[in-house]
Amino acid sequence: MAEQNAVSQKKWYSWYFESNLLYRILIGLVLGVILGLAFKEKILWMAPFGDIFVRLLKMIMMPIILSTLIVGASSVSPANLGKVGIRVIAFYLVTSAVAVAIGLLMGMVFQPNTPLADFAETAGRDVKAPSPMDIVLNMVPTSVAQVIVNEVILAVIFFALIFGIAVSYLRVSPDERIKKAGETLYAFFDGIAEVMMLVIKGIMQYAPFGVLALVAVVLANNGPKVMGALAVVTAACFSGYAIHILLVYCGMVKLLGGLSLRRYFKDAKDPFVTAFVTRSSNGTLPVSMEAADNLGVPKSIYSFSLPLGATINMDGTAIYQGVCATFIALSVWGRNFSFPEMGTIVITATLASIGTAGVPGAGAIMLLLVLDAVGLPVTAGSAVAGAYALILGIDALLDMGRTALNVTGDLSCTAIVAKRLKQLDLSKWSRPAKEQG
């Protein structure tokens, strides 16, 4: 009898953890909309439940940036930084920067916004934008502790990258003592990164309630007009994804590589579709590797470039960040970014993509960092938190598109680098894809 009770007790809540998180967040969004519209200011008591979610996200931001960036930078072995490494990394960084710019452009064209008037006091409106030189200068911290405590994101990123690169050198030192120290540091930060991933998983179990409360408050304060804005955000993101494929990837394959687009997409479509469905660059890795093999890329190149790309190259995520940051600025400040602010976003989002894990939803966490860098911190009770929650409600849909783009970017760069280094097996391009082993 006691045993039976234990089983039935476990059952009443276990359905929650066993059901798909995606659907739960979506249900949270829909319920939040309904409750907000139906009960208006009577629902405002829910606000602290949303604030808890925001505080939890903020809590993990700094440990995540530090650990994932240090692990990302220190996993590129200096031995791989030869001809291939430098080219691959340069391609990844340049295409990510272009992607953020396309995202910001889509923001300008589509103007996604929903004036969150009740929160107009949110900081930022009167802050003087720093000049490009100031942005570069401020990236170099004079005190590491200070920039971590004050959450000066770009400076923290800068330090984490330098630190990570130095660790990668320690790891290959001929001196056993130094090598061991490097491995210990790597294992330490890798451990923190893994712990943070686990913590995020736990926090996301609360996301449906957090999103429900945040969205209900936004709807209660602002009415139904916010829903149309989300459709515009989605249209802006997907237009950006399409433009990036057409301009950047097709341009690279055709113009830089002189290769057939038809032939390229015959094999590239498999990882594209897999990424779209799984929303994970890491999970798609085996399919991407098979596609690279079918496209005639030597294993020596793709076995380095594709795992690295799944970790540090996130063009779709970069576009999403450009669009969403614009949506939040327009909604909260009532104005778009100035050019220096856009410069900050391009730099931060490009560097943030290095720290974005290739797993579902990681880009939404990194968006917090980009927002912080540009003076739109997600803080409890702020308009930014409300706008952020709205985006989180449709994150699954946006994530599908951005992940598909992320893996296509890895594969395109890989094929082009192989072609330019004259290591691409062109015999695989003269026969139809189906015949390839």
Residues found near ligand ASP in the complex (CB under 6 A): 279-281, 314, 317, 356, 358-363, 399, 402-403, 406
**Closest C-alpha among 242, 243, 293, 291 to residue 268:** 291
Return the HEC string of 193-245. HHHHHHHHHHHHHHHHHHHHHHHHHHHHHHCCHHHHHHHHHHHHHHHHHHHHH
Taking the C-alpha atoms of residue 30 and residue 19, their distance in angstroms, rounded to an integer, is 17
Within 8 A by CB and 6+ apart from 422, the residues are none
Q: How far is the CB of 404 from ligand ASP (least distance, A)?
A: 9
Q: How far is the CB of 181 from ligand ASP (least distance, A)?
A: 32
Q: How far is the CB of 359 from ligand ASP (least distance, A)?
A: 5
Taking the C-alpha atoms of residue 268 and residue 435, their distance in angstroms, rounded to an integer, is 15
**Closest C-alpha among 325, 334, 336 to residue 377:** 325
Nearer of residues 219 and 312 to ligand ASP, judged by Cβ: 312
Within 8 A by CB and 6+ apart from 73, the residues are 160, 161, 163, 164, 165, 167, 168, 354
Q: How far is the CB of 399 from ligand ASP (least distance, A)?
A: 5
Nearer of residues 344 and 353 to ligand ASP, judged by Cβ: 353
Amino acid at 60: I
Nearer of residues 70 and 310 to ligand ASP, judged by Cβ: 310
Nearer of residues 67 and 403 to ligand ASP, judged by Cβ: 403
Q: How far is the CB of 375 from ligand ASP (least distance, A)?
A: 23
Nearer of residues 47 and 104 to ligand ASP, judged by Cβ: 104
Q: Which residue has the tokens 């913590």?
A: 199
Q: How far is the CB of 384 from ligand ASP (least distance, A)?
A: 19
Q: What is the number of the residue whose Cβ is closest to ligand ASP? A: 363
Nearer of residues 240 and 361 to ligand ASP, judged by Cβ: 361
